[in-house]
Chains A and B, each alone.
Chain A
Amino acid sequence: MEISGAEIVIRCLHEENVKFVFGYPGGAVLNIYDAIFTQDKFKHILVRHEQAAVHAADAYARATGDVGVALVTSGPGATNAITGIATAYMDSIPLVVISGQVPTPAIGLDAFQEVDMIGITRPCVKHNFLVKDIKDIATTMKKAFFIAATGRPGPVVVDIPKDITAQLANFEYPKSVELRSYTPILKGHSGQIKKAIKLMLDAKRPMIYAGGGVVLGDASGELIKIAQRLGFPVTNTLMGLGGYPATDKQFVGMLGMHGTLEANMAMQDCDVLVAIGARFDDRVIGNPEHFFNKNRTIIHIDVDPSSISKRVKVDVPIVGHVQSVLTEMNELLDAETRAPDAVALKAWWTQIEEWRGRNCLSYNRNSEIIKPQYVIEKLWEVTKGDAYVTSDVGQHQMWAAQYYKFDKPRRWINSGGLGTMGVGLPYAMGVQFADPTAQVACVTGEGSIQMNIQELSTCKQFHLPIKVILLNNRYLGMVRQWQQFFYENRYSESYMDSLPDFVKLAESYGHVGMNIEKPGDVEGALTEAFNLKDRFVFMNFLTDQNENVFPMVPNGKGLSEIILAEEL
């Protein structure tokens, strides 16, 4: 039986077991929305802005590991989605974004709400498709989901002209799809893996540096196994937090620009570095020349060959899925008679403990003004370390990363690569849909939250019991911090004037609002908020305006040139 192109799109989503589609209707996708009206296999979540639709789908993917799906109309709907797509691309998140397009005969004629979505998204997608024949919808959708989820994951855009969704054709969903030009490598090279094991066993000052690939590749269990059997110190990147349990004694904290002293010093001073699903980002290793002032042998495991030797030349590259490679390493170690050099390792740990003893994350606990770090510590306690924490971008993001000890992967949801302000609230929505009974906290700033504040309405419509933890310092804090350090206190346009009354704003959407102004009220307010299990609570914490994020490796400096709070 012939069905419409729109129905074919919906059937494809059913075949892919999609549970949620985040979207916003418009002219070019009206046929698809009409087909959505008569189905109930997935739930459509109507957001208030297309950017939020893509962010929510992205967070759903981060929290579950499934492919997130967003649906937007042509023109402005499509362009509004771009920030969301670029955000997902930078963090390798599997997404399928379906955009409507003007009818085929109108393409290229500057039609109403026409934009070259394929052209605009090309630099920020893993791949994109323009469907020009109704017979291609099913195979294109199959390919889109396949490409998004495999190899190094990423967003895929499927642009479908309106006339194609109106035409009729038979539907048959391909069982599998093969692309001669796309065959991601799963298994690492055995010779390289053996070489790596030997180097690891010979190491005197080993270090494991694990990134987002461990989380995305579901390799946390294998990482814990290999790290604990070898007794090596482990650091996580911002994207890798939760990939190794933060409360474990072998964890030395996050590394990088706002990483711990112990993580950055160990990264600089180690003799064998095992990089797993990480990409030596500029925020992670600082100045690459300084990084190479010290000699070390680098083993790099990554599913994407282009991530290897991009910024940092490595000695033992292993291209493969991190889970597969780590499993193979663990199997080799099962059969291994040698153990790491216990004496050398002990001396190394003594050194690391000395760095750790500097207590680089200490802050003034006697302040009469609320310290943002304190709020995050209490959030961790009140949620028993088991919440999903989404964040926006800025100082609050760094404090959340530093002070919330993530013990599980897929619990820390933030925009690492693109650094997109405004993701926090839509991220919390995506996560809450993925896990409706979970505790979901959105740690944000008064700058970031206003970039997608309209989603308070979506949260009302779907009764999402998110807790917003607004660390309100009335400044674009990270901008102010840089202006203080590098621009002689010239706080150009970083003061956030004319803020709304956030409590009233929340209440106007039917949510609960709270103002918290004293350190003594922090814990009680958090407890009260999380006890309101079925309510959205907007918590406005008035925090110290002058607090800065430490430690800090200034831009262009090396990891060991790290500045601690006490040194200023």
Chain B
Amino acid sequence: MKHIISILMENEAGALSRVAGLFSARAYNIESLTVAPTEDATLSRMTIVTSGSDEVIEQIIKQLNKLIDVVKVLDLNDGRFIERELMLVKVKATGPFRDEMKRMCDIFRGRIIDVADGSYTIELTGSGSKLDAFLEALDNAAILETVRTGASGIGRGDRILKL
């Protein structure tokens, strides 16, 4: 099953490689990984999307907690949470595609952030599955380039991951 794991860690050189190294050394999956500093400059927040049996996820959480640089770990799937990912897609916008792309972008509540003679660049945010759905809805031949940030997640309501 897919899990989104949030990690607060020391904002130090090498901390990212400790986490990435742990996943590869123990053969855990990483679907996506994002990391950036938080409002507290000494801390980074990482979001990892992974998958595995309950036993594997339990081990992942324990092994993450064991890393000295890791301050806190939260499996967002243990409660209610919101997941968002940002995607930029460059699509063909020539002939019939030009109107079609604008329409699809509107349906998925994306924004066209760059317009060129032959292409649009569309910005879209949402859950990973919404972004997948958008890509599926497009004619594959129309997609020139995609770039995705990987998921970020946050607990709903009072679920707060903070020191």
Structural contact, A123 and B25, CB atoms closer than 8 A: yes
CA distance in complex: A182, B69 (Å):
8
Pair B25/A127 contact, Cβ less than 8 Å: no
If A122-B18, A181-B9, A181-B10 touch, whether A305 touches B68 (CB-CB below 8 Å) is no
A118 near B68 with CB under 8 A, answer no
Contacts of A310 in B (CB 8 A): 59
Across the interface, A182 reaches (CB within 8 A) one of B62, B68, B163, namely B68
Is the Cβ of A306 less than 8 Å from the Cβ of B63?
A: yes
Contact between A306 and B68, CB atoms less than 8 A apart? no
A119 contacts the other chain (Cβ, under 8 Å)? yes
* Contacts known (A181-B10, A306-B62, A309-B55); A122 close to B71, Cβ less than 8 A: no
Q: Does A229 contact B (CB under 8 A)?
A: no
B118 contacts the other chain (Cβ, under 8 Å)?
no
Q: How far is the CA of A306 from the CA of B70 in the complex (A)?
A: 14
Are B163 and A180 closer than 8 Å at their CB atoms? yes
Q: Which partner residue on chain A sits nearest B65 by CB separation?
A: A305
User: What residues of B have a CB within 8 angstroms of the CB of A123 in the complex?
Assistant: 21, 25
Interface 1/0s, chain A 113-124, versus B by CB < 8 A?
A: 000001100110
User: Are B55 and A180 in touch, CB under 8 angstroms?
Assistant: no
Q: Are B163 and A119 in contact (CB under 8 A)?
A: no
In this assembly, does B14 line the interface, its C-beta being within 8 Å of a C-beta of chain A?
yes
Interface residue A179 (Cβ < 8 Å from any Cβ of B)? yes
Given contacts A118-B14, A181-B9, contact A126 B62 (CB under 8 A): no
Asked whether any CB of chain A lies closer than 8 Å to the CB of B66, the reply is: yes
> Does A72 count as interface, using CB distance less than 8 angstroms?
no
Cross-chain contact B68 with A181 (CB below 8 angstroms)? yes
Size category, B interface? 20 to 34
What CA separation (Å) do A119 and B14 show in the bound complex? Answer: 9
- Chain B residues near A147 (CB, 8 Å)? 68
Q: Which of B5-60 contact A (CB under 8 A)?
A: 9-10, 13-14, 17-18, 21, 25, 55, 58-59
Q: Please tell me if the beta carbons of A122 and B62 are within 8 angstroms of each other in the complex.
A: no
Number of A-B contacts (CB under 8 A): 38
Contact for B17 among A122, A305, A306, CB less than 8 A = A122
Q: How far is A306 from B18 in the complex, measured between Cα atoms in Å? A: 16
A residues in contact with B65, CB < 8 Å:
305-306
User: Whole-angstrom distance between the alpha carbons of A126 and B66 in the complex?
Assistant: 9
- Tell me whether A126 and B68 are in contact in the complex, defined as CB-CB below 8 angstroms, given that A118-B14, A181-B10 are known contacts: yes
Cβ contacts A121-146/B at 8 Å (1 or 0 each): 01100110010000000000000000
| In the bound complex, CA of A306 to CA of B55 (Å) | 11
Q: B55 near A313 (CB under 8 angstroms)? A: yes
Nearest-CB residue, chain A, relative to B13? A130
Contact between B10 and A122 (Cβ–Cβ < 8 Å)?
no
Which residue from B13, B63, B68 sits with its C-beta under 8 Å from A127?
Answer: B68
Interface residues of A in 178-203 (CB under 8 A from B): 179-182
CB of A304 within 8 Å of the partner chain: yes
Tell me the minimal C-beta distance from A517 to chain B in angstroms.
47
Q: Which residue of B lies closest to A123 (CB)?
A: B25
* In the complex, chain B residues whose CB is within 8 Å of the CB of A304: 66
Q: Which residues of A contact B70 (CB under 8 A)?
A: 181
Known: A119-B17, A181-B10. A306 touches B59 (CB 8 A): yes
A144 to chain B, nearest CB (A): 11
A305 touches B9 (CB 8 A): no
* Central interface residue in B18, B21, B62, by most chain A CB within 10 Å: B62
In the complex, the chain A residue whose C-beta lies closest to that of B63 is A306
Contacting residues, chain B, for A182 (C-beta < 8 A): 68
A151 to B152: give the CA distance in the assembly, Å.
Answer: 32
Most buried by B among A118, A181, A308, A313: A181
The answer to whether residues A306 and B163 also contact, given A118-B14, A313-B55 and a CB cut-off of 8 A, is no
Contacting residues, chain B, for A119 (C-beta < 8 A): 17
Cα A309 to Cα B60 with chains together (Å): 12
Contact of A179 with B66 at beta-carbon distance under 8 Å, contacts A122-B18, A310-B59 already known: no
In the bound assembly, the distance between CA atoms of A251 and B118 in angstroms comes to 81
Within 8 A of B (CB), among A201-245: none
Bound: A181/B9 CA distance, A? 8
Once bound together, how far apart are the Cα atoms of A272 and B95, in whole Å? 75
Q: Which residues of A contact B66 (CB under 8 A)?
A: 304-306
Q: A122-B17, A181-B9, A181-B10 are in contact. Are A309 and B68 (CB under 8 A)?
A: no
Chain B residue numbers with a CB within 8 Å of A127 are 68
Query: How far, in angstroms, from A126 to B63 measured CA to CA in the complex?
Result: 12
Residues on the A chain within 8 Å of B10, using CB: 181
A-B contact pairs, 18 of them (CB 8 A): A118-B14, A119-B17, A122-B17, A123-B25, A126-B68, A127-B68, A130-B13, A147-B68, A180-B71, A181-B69, A304-B66, A305-B65, A306-B63, A306-B65, A308-B62, A309-B55, A309-B58, A310-B59
**Contact surface of A with B, Cβ cutoff 8 Å:** 118-119, 122-123, 126-127, 130, 147, 179-182, 304-306, 308-310, 313
Query: 3 tightest A-B contacts by CB?
Result: A306-B62, A181-B71, A127-B68
**Supplied contacts A305-B65, A309-B59, 14 more A-B pairs, CB within 8 Å:** A122-B14, A122-B17, A122-B21, A123-B21, A181-B68, A181-B69, A181-B71, A182-B68, A305-B66, A306-B65, A308-B62, A309-B55, A309-B58, A313-B55
